Amino acid sequence: MAIAVGGVVEGTVTGITNFGAFVQLPEGKTGLVHISEISDDYVEKVSDYLKRNQKVKVKVLSINKEGKISLSIRQAKPKTSEPIEIDWTKTDDRQKHMSFEDKLSKFMKESNERQDQLKSRESRKGQKGRSKNADF
């Protein structure tokens, strides 16, 4: 099967880095799935989502002049317009024995951690922007 932009093919994860994962494609070619193209969720660590030798379906986003292939796992998934069914009767085993106050406390802690991550990311972006404009 020829590799073409827009096509979906199956490949094997051959390497994991802090910025993404390399995937072996048919015809012996290799492409990169950037960390932002692994999942619709926020991906902090690629290794939390992918493992070496794991089979994955990927969409070919682009092939540049040098032959580098850009891939996406999240865009290879079929789009559904149906709402997701949530079974509210099921509970996480760790949360079964937690009181409401403990659950609320856990939620608040996780929420604050996420907010701190977002703030630090925004401040880093702001620092980069200021250093570029400092020459004016």
| DSSP reduced 3-state for 129 | helix
User: Domain spans of the chain?
Assistant: 8-76, 93-131
Residue 56 near residue 11, CB atoms below 8 Å? yes
What pLDDT does 30 receive? 92
What pLDDT does 131 receive? 53
CATH class of 8-76: mainly beta
Residue ranges in the chain modelled with pLDDT below 70: 1, 80-81, 88, 90-96, 127-136
Cα(135)–Cα(15) distance, integer angstroms: 40
What pLDDT does 77 receive? 85
What are the DSSP calls for 86-115, one per residue?
Answer: --TT---HHHHT--HHHHHHHHHHHHHHHH
What pLDDT does 133 receive? 54
